[in-house]
Amino acid sequence: MATLILLRHGQSLWNAANKFTGWVDVPLSERGRAEATIASCKLKEKGYYIDVCFTSTLFRAMETAVVCLTECGEICGDKTPIFQHDLADEDWHGWNKYESKFDEELPIFPSPALGERYYGKLQGLNKVQTAENYGEAQVTQWRRSFSVRPPGGESLEDTMNRALPYFKNRILPHLKHGDNVLVAAHGNSLRSIIMHLDNLSSEEVPLLELQTGVPNVYEIDVSGEVLSKTILN
């Protein structure tokens, strides 16, 4: 049996300003860093231990992962978290291909596949003002429908089509191997994974609300099936 922890990043500065963030690389707010610290403490209290971490390439998710792993060090033991970059850049002198020493280090794998939904022309706009300009019904459809895209952006279905294959091909093998996995990502990429794990329909998943900084904990058996789910709120 293995543990999968899905953690939406802590509050970002644009979450606090009620703006559409999408792929804009906005850092955490003070509250967001506190939420990541609280998540770390909750996981420590419950006795959870992390072997490997996956995150998006956006800073708010990576920052959440690091704070969660380091504020209560017991959840990764004496291991040092190390980002494992997969970049085709000669200036890295090969260190982008560095392989962790798993007895001493905890690898963190960032991937754009786990990134937030791309909101296109809505990115940077205030959500209340956008509803006033386009109408509440239209903005709700852009935000909450499964397959409708905002102008120039991705639908939730589009986000699922990149996040779910990454989960199945890259993350699930670790769980089947018995590794405890932390995934620090975003509301919509995590909705896509939860849709699969919880067997939600395309009508149900847009209604799923994920609080910032709150761990969703799954126990997974060797076949990849969900045995239980706990939300540490």
Residues designated as active site: 9, 116
Measured in degrees and rounded to the nearest 5, phi and psi for residue 124 equal 90, -10
Look up residue 212 and give its amino acid: T
Q: In what order do the strands lie in the sheet with 105-110?
A: 80-83, 105-110, 52-55, 181-185, 2-8, 215-220, 226-231
Asked if residues 21 and 10 have their Cβ atoms less than 8 Å apart, the reply is no
Q: Shortest CA distance to 32 belongs to which of 6, 71, 63?
A: 63
Burial of 30 from C-beta contacts in 10 A (0-12 / 13-18 / 19+): exposed
Rounded Cα–Cα distance for residues 94 and 141 (Å): 45
What is the spatial distance between Cα 109 and Cα 50, in angstroms, rounded to a whole number? 13
* Cα dihedral 41, 112, 206, 181 sign: negative
